Amino acid sequence: MDTDPGILCFQHCSCKVFCFELPERCPICSTALSTANFRLLPFRIPYPFVRAIQHPCSVVIKPTSGDFLHDYLNSMDLHIGVTNSEGTVVEFDRRFATA
Ligand SMILES: [Zn+2]
């Protein structure tokens, strides 16, 4: 079973920051975040590593070989598909679609 660690995102100055806990200071410019004005207020990101069958009517992406947590490098090909209303994955290959 997948475990959601609670990934947060915020932007104070020049870059978006992804973290598990909101830091006291901005890691980019070191401004104290308790009194700072955010460009993007902190929000929790939906956990991206889920079972496709539990998410009907969704776009799903996986590495062509292996999985994101153990095998993926950003130079590797991705495999994309969608799930129907029953959660069945419909994959699209380069030349044809398969169900
Ligand atoms: Zn900053």
pLDDT tens figures, 8-47: 999 999 999 999 999 999 999 999 999 999 999 999 988 8
| Cα–ligand 1 centroid distance for 40 (angstroms) | 11
Domain-embedded: residue 56: yes
Cα distances (angstroms) measured from residue 99 to each of 17, 39, 45, 64, 89: 38, 43, 30, 17, 7
CB 54 within 8 A of CB 60: no
Q: Are residues 33 and 60 in the same domain?
A: no
| Cα–ligand 1 centroid distance for 33 (angstroms) | 8
Domain-embedded: residue 16: yes
Domain-embedded: residue 1: no
| Cα–ligand 1 centroid distance for 35 (angstroms) | 12
HSE-up (13 A, CA, CB side) for residue 13:
10
Q: Are residues 32 and 56 in the same domain?
A: no
What's the total number of domains in the chain? 2
For residue 30, what are the domain limits?
Answer: 8-44
Per-residue pLDDT averaged across 48-73, rounded? 82
User: Residues with Cβ < 8 Å from 28, sequence gap 6 or more?
Assistant: 12, 13, 14, 15, 17
| Cα–ligand 1 centroid distance for 73 (angstroms) | 29
Q: Are residues 38 and 72 in the same domain?
A: no
Domain-embedded: residue 74: yes
State yes or no: pLDDT of 48 exceeds 80.
no
